[in-house]
Amino acid sequence: MRNAAALLVTAVVAFDVHAASEIKVNAAQLAEQFSSGASSTSDIASNYVDRRVALTGTLLSLDEGFTGDVVGKLGDDPDQAVRVAFANPAAVAKIRKRVGQTVTLHCVGAFSTGFATATACRPD
């Protein structure tokens, strides 16, 4: 019975994550909220983690990460920017020429110690 209940809860959570509408977030404000401690980490996590978000901000840079994946910084300040990982190489190719411009990325909110993050990002 416990296994059935756990599976049901997992299914409901998975459905909720995919069925929820996208949250529109300014990347600089999210990064500031995360770094300033204005809200508790659990508040940020409950609002953004595993939820679909539309992050808007200046694409400050694209860098190759430790695993070879491209990681971007989105916001106003490179030291307090949202770190974004892309869904696939096609998404990176599409966004590469927009460094320095204001963009909107459609992502899944993630949590990392020290800074706000988002994964599976795709440009408009």
Specify if 31 maps to a domain: yes
Q: Please, what's the b/e burial string for 32-60 (b: 16 or more CB within 10 A of its CB; e: otherwise)? A: bbbeeeeeeeeebeeebbbbbbebbbbbb
Specify if 15 maps to a domain: no
Q: What domain range includes position 46? A: 21-123
Looking at residue 38, its pLDDT comes to: 56
Helix (H) or strand (E) holding 31: helix 27-36
| pLDDT at residue 79 is higher than 70 | yes
What's the predicted TM-score (pTM) here? 0.76
pLDDT, tens digit, for every residue of 29-77? Answer: 888 887 766 555 566 666 788 899 999 999 999 999 788 889 999 999 9
Total domains, the chain:
1
Higher per-residue confidence, 7 vs 72 = 72
Specify if 67 maps to a domain: yes
Specify if 9 maps to a domain: no
Specify if 8 maps to a domain: no
Looking at residue 66, its pLDDT comes to: 80
Looking at residue 53, its pLDDT comes to: 94
pLDDT, tens digit, for every residue of 87-102? Answer: 999 999 999 999 999 9
| pLDDT at residue 120 is higher than 50 | yes
Q: Are 92 and 62 in contact (CB under 8 A)?
A: yes
- Dihedral pair phi/psi, residue 74, rounded to 5°: -125, 125
DSSP 79-113: GGPEEEEESSHHHHHHHGGGTTSEEEEEEEEEEET
Looking at residue 37, its pLDDT comes to: 62
Looking at residue 19, its pLDDT comes to: 39
Specify if 12 maps to a domain: no
